[in-house]
Amino acid sequence: MLSRDDIFEELGIGPVWRLREAMPAAPQADAGHRAAPQSADSPPLAARHVPLARWDQLEDAVAHCTACKLHGTRTQGVLGVGDRNADWLFIGEAPGADEDRLGEPFVGQAGRLLDAMLAAIGLARGDNVYIANVLKSRPPGNRNPEPDEVAACRPYLLAQIELIRPKLIVALGRFAAQSLLQTDEAIGRLRGRVHRFQTLPLVVTYHPAYLLRNLPDKARAWEDLCLARRTMQNLADS
C-alpha cells in the first residue's frame, strides 16, 4: 500500500507538503517561474505548490527564483554540487563572487580549503559528498545574508535535503549552523557536539573562509571533522 509520502511523491509535491508542516510561517515569497512582484500579501511559497519533489523541478525553481531581492543582483542561482545520493551533506553560507560566476559552491580559495578538509577525512567532492549553501544566490559584496533571504531560500534547502537524504550534515560556519539549528548560540558553543536537524545528525565546524584568516582554529576544525567521521562510523555500525 502506498504511504502518504509515496502518494505526495507520486503527485510531485512531497517536499512541498513537508515544507508546509516545517514552515508554518513561510516567507512572503514567490519562487515561481515568473517574475511576479513581491507584495506583503503574496501567498507563501508552500501555498503556491511550487513543485520541488524532483531535481529538475528544484533546479528550475532555483534558476528562475525571484523570491527575494538577490535575484536582481546575482548572475545565477547556485543550487549545489556533488553526489545526489551522498551520505555526507556539507552546507555553507552563500555563493561568493566565484561561485556566482561559475554556478558551483565553494570553488574559490575557501573551496580549495574545503576540498583539503574533505580529503583529510578520506572524502572527495562529488564522491558520496554533496555541497550546498543556505542561500542559493550571492549577496552583493558578500554581505551577510538577511533573514528574509534565508526564509525565502529555506524551502529549496529543505527540498534538497529531502532529495539527497544524507546520513549526516556538516554545517560550515556560524551562519549555516545558526540558520539550520535556528539558534543564535555562538559557533564556539555549537561545535564539539552532535545536534539534530530534523532527524539527521548535524555537526558544526568553522567556515573554510574563516579558517583561512584564523589558522590556529584549524586544529579545532580537525576535531570537528573527526567528530563527524566518528558519528558517521557509528551510524554505519549501528
Q: Which residues bind ligand URA (CB under 6 A)?
A: 92-96, 99, 105-106, 110, 133, 209
- In the structure grid, which three cell numbers stand for residue 143, read together? 554581505
CB of 120 to ligand URA, least distance (A): 18
Distance CA 135, CA 29 (A): 14
CB of 114 to ligand URA, least distance (A): 8
CB of 209 to ligand URA, least distance (A): 6
Q: Which residue in the shown chain puts its C-beta closest to ligand URA?
A: 92
Q: For ligand URA, give the closer residue by CB, 18 or 191.
A: 191
H helices present in 23-76, as ranges:
55-63
Q: For ligand URA, give the closer residue by CB, 90 or 197.
A: 90
Name 200's bridge partners: 197
Q: For ligand URA, give the closer residue by CB, 14 or 77.
A: 77
3-class DSSP assignment, residue 22: helix
Contact 53, 15 (CB under 8 A): yes
CA distances from 120 to 199, 206, 210, 217, 225 (A): 27, 15, 18, 15, 8
Q: For ligand URA, give the closer residue by CB, 44 or 208.
A: 208
Q: For ligand URA, give the closer residue by CB, 13 or 209.
A: 209
CB of 84 to ligand URA, least distance (A): 17
Distance CA 218, CA 86 (A): 25
CB of 142 to ligand URA, least distance (A): 8
Distance CA 10, CA 8 (A): 5
